[in-house]
Amino acid sequence: MSEPVFILGGHQTDFAKVWSRAGQDLSDMTREATLGALQASGVAAADIQSIHVGNAFGELQRGQAHLGAMVAQVVPELWGVPAMRHEGACASSSLAVLTAMAEIEAGRYDCVLVLGVEEFKNLPGDQSSVNQNAAAWQGREDIDCTFMWPAAFGLLAQEYERRYGLDRRYLNRIAELNYGNARRNPLAQTRKWTFEARSFTDDDEINPVIEPGTRRQDCGQITDGACALVLASARFAQSHWGHRGRSLVGMPWIEGWGHRNAGLRLKDKLERSRDARHVFPHVRQTLEDAWRRAGIAGVDAISGIETHDCFTTTEYMAIDHFGLTEPGESWRAIEDGSIEPGGRCPVNMSGGLIGCGHPVGATGARMLLDAARQVSGQAGDTQIEGVRKMQTLNIGGSCATVVSFVVSPWS
């Protein structure tokens, strides 16, 4: 990486808030996240030179497109700043981050605002669920189901069962851990939710099957929310903090990144990897690309992970693709406590998509902000002790778009 990119600060909205109940919408989320990020980073609106917005379903959920221009509409101080919108399903705001990084690395701009925003609770859940199907290959997935994404990631569970064997106790434990982590996160959608012991078992009454391979507690929580970050070059960061008598030491920066794509259709991906070491080779390659760019050998250098757990099966897949276990043996890292708070490599201390919530277009930015807070010691009750480096894994669709970042404190 030719030019370091620093994370000066950011802001996440409360993922438990249903904005439409207050007569608000994604424009209000955009305003809160933008102003919050400027305040958190100590950057004036006049310093922002470019804006990138990640959003997946604005047209379908709110009938609203052209969200690059929305930022200046609700924060007039940013009028005239170049802006654009990015769509990559659940990885939309990670793509916005990648583009902002490229502008900084190229020397085009020194200070860039990245925003992820999504609104889901303004429509009935069944309608929102249908809208999300746009991230699949419409009409060509060949999956007989009522709910596309629970069915698709249920097929992933079945694929693990076919290749390696799969004990559902470990999927239930992933859900239990992420809901537990979310209770310590003041911005998590489910922080006040309560469960009983049977909630994390295969009890058909309290944890029913949604689609084959997927039960209720396996599902991430679709929600409203926004997250904004201010990214900057070393030149800008040094000047910005220098005026305040501070050095760059300890400031979070993006040390490495990976980005790969595959086709839309899930069954094609599974078929292409029949003889491969990993179920999704391009996911593993994305992680390896991030390690290579960060100059590290692998997951042993990582202190904690924020990964995409749109379903428990996605996190189960991530565990072995990160290399915390051999392929097909993710259960070992769950059984021995490796992914728990205080474990070898805690996963989703935020609560993840299951516990913290999943406003689709904002998730990648939220992961990156949580990683930055961890390495700068600002993660509050979710803080990992002695953290050195954090890594994110953000996926869009059925692992069609995959992005990963390695975040470290500057030294």
CA atoms within 13 A on the CB side of 35: 11
Q: Can you give the pLDDT at residue 245?
A: 67
- By percentage, how much of the chain surpasses pLDDT 90? 96
- The three-state secondary structure class of 257 is strand
Amino acid at 350: S
| Token pair 């990993």 in the structure block, residue | 278
Evaluated on CA atoms 316, 318, 319, 325, the torsion sign reads positive
Distance in angstroms (rounded) separating the CA atoms of residues 199 and 288: 36
* Model pLDDT for residues 134-155, shown as the tens digit of each residue: 999 999 999 999 999 999 999 9
Q: Can you give the pLDDT at residue 243?
A: 66
Nearest 5°: phi and psi at 128? Answer: -60, -40
Name the pTM for this structure: 0.98
Q: Can you give the pLDDT at residue 2?
A: 73
Element (H, E) at 305: strand 304-307
Q: Is the pLDDT of residue 89 over 80?
A: yes
For residue 334, how far is the Cα from the chain centroid?
21
Q: Can you give the pLDDT at residue 241?
A: 76
Q: Is the pLDDT of residue 1 over 80?
A: no
Q: For residue 259, what are its two tokens? A: 């980005």
Q: For residue 290, what are its two tokens? A: 């991030």
* Model pLDDT for residues 300-322, shown as the tens digit of each residue: 999 999 999 999 999 999 999 99
Q: Can you give the pLDDT at residue 271?
A: 98
Q: Can you give the pLDDT at residue 177?
A: 98
* Model pLDDT for residues 60-85, shown as the tens digit of each residue: 999 999 999 999 999 999 999 999 99
Amino acid at 196: E
Average pLDDT, the chain: 97
Distance in angstroms (rounded) separating the CA atoms of residues 289 and 354: 27
